[in-house]
Structure 1
């Protein structure tokens, strides 16, 4: 026999099951062996007969009894299972997570959406800062070009130009990758 996991129940299937359950004879049901009766315990002449699972063969009596017990128990099992499925599907029941904390599915969904929003905001801010850094670097490179032109035109000495260039590059982290500069700024 192969393991065939059924597809998840749809809301319509749950509604149909609930309708069949509501239309059936009220429970609980019980069995005296292979016959099924209304009530918690069979009482001859009092319990209302619901049905039977008898196949009429001696060799099948054990199976008939097991089938009757299953059908009788289904009268209380089905409503309990439907209630549990609906409870789990609505997401309002707290669930215990592996770390021991308890949250509703809705709360976890909301938290996840909030994290996504914060991540998107952070990514946009990082992009804005990165663009700003590139703009500033370009502006400083322009200033450094001017320092070199001033040195070439002998308006300032070459040693002064080199020292000024090094100081500007070090102060602004122009020789470091963006992540290193951003990390130092966060300290």
Structure 2
């Protein structure tokens, strides 16, 4: 499957997130291991071992993902709660 060139995005119609959907996403964030999560890639961040995501609990080792996917997953742990808080503030929601 060919990856989409994100530098040439066409406008996509994406439905708005409802307050309930935002609450559901926030609950999933709260249920996950506390952040921050950090992506470690062999040869980039350390010199021996495997690629992994460091959490406040057990490390996460993924199989079959790209470095970009791993970095995205790790960053999402910090990014999603911040984005949800901003969305709630702008919409006047209480999550």
List gaps (5 residues or longer) in structure 2: 5-9, 42-50
Between the aligned partners of 2:16 and 2:89, the Cα distance in structure 1 is 15
List gaps (5 residues or longer) in structure 1: 40-46, 56-62, 92-187
Deviation at 1:37, TM superposition (A): 1.4
> What RMSD over aligned residues (CA atoms) do the two structures have, in Å?
2.1
Between the aligned partners of 1:67 and 1:83, the Cα distance in structure 2 is 24
TM-score for both structures, normalised by structure 1: 0.37
Q: Among 52, 61, 74, which residue is 1:35 paired with?
A: 52
Aligned length: 76
Name whichever structure is richer in helix by fraction.
1
Which residues of 2 match residues 70-81 of structure 1 at below 5 A?
70-81=72-83
Match of 1:48? 58
Higher RCO (C-alpha under 8 Å, 6+ residues apart): 2
Runs of 4 or more consecutive aligned structure 1 residues displaced over 3 Å after TM superposition: none
Question: Which structure's CA Rg is the greater one?
Answer: 1
